[in-house]
Chain A
Amino acid sequence: MSSNVSLVETVKKQYAFKMKAYIDAFSSLVGIQFIAFLFSLGGGSSSMGTSDGYHFELKFYSADLVIIFTFIWIFVTAITITTKPYRNQDFTFVTNRMSSSLSNILFLLSASLLGAFTAVLSRFLIQTVAYFLLKEDLYIASVMTSEMMIGITVSLLYVFWISSIGYFVGTLVQIHKGFALLIPVIVIGSLFYDGFMQRYAMLLILFQFYFLESSMVLFAIKTLITTAVLFFASIAILNRMEVRR
């Protein structure tokens, strides 16, 4: 007998399926954050000595690098799940383009949440290892629980925002392989061109729009709107695409 299915039900099933099937994305997250953690332990140091017999050394610890690596990870992950094998495996089971995209977005949201959370938390791992294993005397910038929450929320907004960029880029590449070449050329080309014209890089101005925003509310609005627009555009494009298995 033919069975009726609802979009919501299908999205739920696809989402559950992807959380199981894309488990490798999570292990690569652990790997990438671990590498960033190792870099963080050694990185950010500077020193100065004088002839008077003094040598000063300064080391900064923070999870900044782990967060940056997490950005890269989500970007690559978002592009990866738009590629053919991943799209095709959706269509081995029940789906349409809409449920495929929506479940992808839900997956990216979950991945972003996990990535942002572990990235911000890794600061404690860094400071614990620095103190107990590297026997460092630490000055620790105070952070309140509320600030920690801000850190996680903002990291989540950033990571999810970057995932939408990755998903959009991946979608464009699916339309035409030429975008895989065109996009890096435009990005790097604009940097070079602005450098050549001796003016402030457009791309930096674009990024400052987000990174220099000091109002939490405005920042959330900016990133969420951008994220929504990019995902919406991706869905619109993918919705017309054939799945050539």
Chain B
Amino acid sequence: MILNPDDTKPIYVQIAEWIETEILNGHFQSDEKVYSQYQLAEMFTINPATAAKGLNLLADEQILYKKRGLGMFVATNAKEAIVHKRRSGTLKQLIQELVLEAERLSIKESELLEMIKAARKKEGSQ
């Protein structure tokens, strides 16, 4: 992955999301050591403090846990936590935006639900 400098998301968030994706893709298993802040800094040419902030973000969300002097490890139920978070966070926000846009276009709730159903159907048939 290459960081997107034009992304308005802070770099540390981008780093955290990248690690999440790595875990979702199965590149890191539970209780496996993830990259250190220095490895991340080297990989992405970013400041190690920024990388550490990304790791700490995941630690705060209990996706990673710290072993003193050893580094960061993937929590047992990290995958589930990530899925849960993305559902409640990312998806929720997307839906909020969707609703807002629908209001702007004066689309009724039933109409919006129909559109979602149709989109899901199309996705499913593929």
A and B touch in the complex (CB under 8 A): no
Contacts from B to A (Cβ < 8 Å): none
Contacts from A to B (Cβ < 8 Å): none
